[in-house]
Amino acid sequence: MDKRTAAKTAAELREKLNKWADEYYTHDAPSVEDSVYDAAYRQLTEIENEYPEVITSDSPTQQVGDNTLPGFTKVVHEIPMLSLGDVFSKDELSGFINRLAETDSVPFEYNCELKIDGLAISLRYENGIFVQGSTRGNGQIGEDITENLKTIKSIPQKLNKPVTIEVRGECYMPKKSFVDLNDARQRDGQTPFANPRNAAAGSLRQLDPKETAKRKLSTFMYNVADYDDLETNTQSGLLEELKALGFETNPGYQVANNFDDVSSYIDKYQEKRDSLAYGIDGIVIKVNDLNLHRTLGATVKVPRWAIAFKFPPEEAETIVTDIEWTVGRTGVVTPTAVMNPVILAGTTVSRASLHNPDYLEEKDIRIGDTVKLHKAGDIIPEISNYVESKRLQDSEKYLIPTKCPSCGSELVHLDDEVALRCINPMCPAQLTEGLTHFASRNAMNIDGLGPKIIGQLFSKKLLTDVSGLYELNFEDLLTLDKFGEKSATNLLESINNSRQNSLERLLFGLGIRHVGAKAARLIAQKFKNIDEIIKADAETIAQIDTMGMIIADSVVTYFSMPESISLIEKLKSVGVNMDYLGVSEEELESEDSFFSGKKVVLTGKLETMTRGDASSWLTNHGAKVTSSVSKNTDLVIVGTDPGSKYDKAVKLDIPVWEESRFSDEMNQES
């Protein structure tokens, strides 16, 4: 390659890499696999090493991390947060270790740590109190995400010692949280996150901390900005010191004396990575002596005393034998590739989600294709692409269905979302999923009515919609598998009791898109009965505190459909309550209750009631029930094993009631 070709190729690579980096870091929506980005980055690095004159200031080799987003206050890192250099083979790793050995006559110790698939963060403490948290950003300037980080349980608000320190580490999303989040996003017609790292980044960049709290993030801390803050002089000792201060540190680290020790550690965790509760994409090797960190220094982008060994992507080839479409509770229709079974990352895989029609068309997956399969974030089976050389000659482009696979209704796109939906509320697939939701604890709370029983009721044609639950009889239930007289009696009693539920439970149980339990209660509280809700326009609903037009439009759309009105009439005819039985907004404001206007925290296990029942009672008597204790908390009610919230209440001199006193007050006010 001559200089002219090198300059042209470098420019093309820079354009691609900067685009991919923006998608990955800033928008948390990568369009290519990590391995594709890494290969292009290495090619650019090789060109720039051979022709330094082609390096430009906008080259990704000269940048660290991501850009900052609007909506967040900027934080300047007085000591830059650097990225890590990467190696992709043990030969490259050996070269790195050999180069280090040449800089000092004394043999090095190395600390091997797991490379967590998350987002780099910095936490600043003053006299042991958490005062600010930020993202890495571009290494020099990050985003202030303090309030979001306060919602993460593994981040201590107060350290075990009153030290002033800046601690750095990784915020990540556990594998289970990642799967649950993507399931929820697909049900709501949203594009799923590509991997746990992007899910964690997207969660930390929520402008509403309550949304971050729902994502169940965690952290591992592994470094400090200034080593002068430490009592130790080794990286392994630093991890122990951070743990003693109250931080979560990853227990998998190991001190290594030579390349063979490092190599064995890599092999060990490459084998164990699938069994971990969090994602890792490699191993980080650091010189253990912190004094040598200063001596070795850093380049403009990476430290010279550390390197990341990246695991190779594990892929397998298999053949797509079918594409199935399933209908969820909210009507989202999702395509799934059915494939010949193949072993991937330790498990047998025969199915992979194709997410939505746009994704399927972009990938151009067809029945009969040989495809490359990997696990996104080492968790979820995902098709990378089809193998063009193995595509059948008579292959035909897969046509996206226009009819619901369950009921045959026309499928639609709502609000320009990528999801395809069936909006027929009488769709059998939606009804089965919807009935499970209708019977759930936070909805109609029909104890003993789970998915398997609902499936049997549908297959035996004993149900066509939720109103049919209230027409079941003793003989009907005795036809179900493993259902005796006691089971039938208990279920009928539970169904009958649910007729008397307050309106908000019914409203939530209907499964109206975007209407959660809290929104259902606020709407029911405002309009007081179902007929008033049906007559309400979107503007009136949107005026309810915290509601907004998205929820309002969804409610109006639902009740504009004849099928929805028919269902409500059926439920009325079988005696289901349609009125709000709680306390009205006006009554809440004027009620002469001890709890009116107070901020109350519940903690520990209650013996005579559930936490949910206690919370509902408090809310109906004017209290605001919150999840965390602060100086603004008025009262903490404790059960058994109350934990740190009790300790914090005592320290802040906040009144603490045991359950018995709370019960007495309830009896006096009832």
How far apart (Å, rounded) are the C-alpha atoms in residues 227 and 280?
Answer: 26
Q: Of 365, 390, 415, at which residue does a domain stop?
A: 390
Q: Residue 667's pLDDT band (boundaries 50, 70, 90)?
A: low
Same domain? 239 vs 306: yes
Same domain? 117 vs 180: yes
Domain holding 457: CATH number? Answer: 1.10.150.20
Assess if residue 627 is contained within a domain. yes
For residues 94, 272, 375 and 39, what is the CA-based torsion angle, rounded to 10 degrees? -10
Same domain? 302 vs 371: no
Which residue has better confidence, 65 or 269? 269
Assess if residue 412 is contained within a domain. no
Domain holding 277: CATH number? Answer: 3.30.470.30
Q: Is the pLDDT of residue 559 over 90?
A: yes
Looking at residues 472-483, what average pLDDT do you find?
90
**Which of 86-95, 260-269, 427-436, 566-575 shows the lowest per-residue confidence on average (mean pLDDT)?**
427-436
Same domain? 378 vs 520: no
Write down the pLDDT at residue 129.
Answer: 94
Assess if residue 13 is contained within a domain. yes
Domain holding 57: CATH number? Answer: 1.10.287.610
Of 443, 595, 634, the C-alpha closest to 521 is 443
Same domain? 323 vs 304: no
- With a CB cutoff of 8 Å and minimum separation 6, the contacts of 185 are 191, 192, 193
Assess if residue 409 is contained within a domain. no
Same domain? 518 vs 589: no
**Segment 87-115, tens digit of pLDDT:** 989 999 999 999 888 877 677 899 999 99
Looking at residues 39-57, what average pLDDT do you find?
81
* DSSP codes, 249-282: --TT-EEESSHHHHHHHHHHHHHHGGGSSS-EEE
How far apart (Å, rounded) are the C-alpha atoms in residues 41 and 63?
Answer: 12
Write down the pLDDT at residue 612.
Answer: 75
Which residue has better confidence, 473 or 450? 473
Which residue has better confidence, 5 or 642? 5
Q: Residue 496's pLDDT band (boundaries 50, 70, 90)?
A: very high
Same domain? 206 vs 272: yes
Q: Is the pLDDT of residue 377 over 60?
A: no
Q: Of 553, 573, 593, at which residue does a domain stop?
A: 573
Q: Of 62, 87, 110, at which residue does a domain stop?
A: 62
How far apart (Å, rounded) are the C-alpha atoms in residues 595 and 602?
Answer: 13
Q: Is the pLDDT of residue 642 over 80?
A: no
Assess if residue 205 is contained within a domain. yes
Same domain? 115 vs 154: yes
Q: Residue 244's pLDDT band (boundaries 50, 70, 90)?
A: very high
Radius of gyration of the chain, Cα coordinates, nearest whole angstrom: 29
Write down the pLDDT at residue 590.
Answer: 40
pTM (two decimals): 0.53
Which residue has better confidence, 189 or 12? 12
Of 544, 330, 511, 523, the C-alpha closest to 417 is 330
Same domain? 439 vs 344: no
Q: Is the pLDDT of residue 61 over 80?
A: no
Assess if residue 396 is contained within a domain. no
Residues carrying an active site annotation: 115
Instruction: Residue 100: count other Cβ atoms within 10 Å of its Cβ.
Output: 18
Domain count for the chain, please give it.
Answer: 6
Same domain? 119 vs 185: yes
**Segment 167-204, tens digit of pLDDT:** 999 999 998 888 888 887 777 767 778 778 888 888 88
Domain that holds residue 438: 428-498
Q: Is the pLDDT of residue 138 over 50?
A: yes
Same domain? 97 vs 162: yes
Mean pLDDT rounded to a whole number for the chain: 86
* Three-class secondary structure of residue 566 per DSSP: helix
Q: Residue 365's pLDDT band (boundaries 50, 70, 90)?
A: very high
**Segment 420-471, tens digit of pLDDT:** 889 887 788 888 888 888 998 778 989 888 888 988 898 888 988 889 999 9
Assess if residue 653 is contained within a domain. yes
Assess if residue 469 is contained within a domain. yes
Q: Which two tokens stand for residue 98?
A: 């050999």
Whose tokens are 């870091």? That residue is 25
Same domain? 226 vs 306: yes
Q: Is the pLDDT of residue 584 over 70?
A: no
Write down the pLDDT at residue 588.
Answer: 47
Q: Beta strand 420-422 with 599-603: parallel, antiparallel or unpaired?
A: unpaired
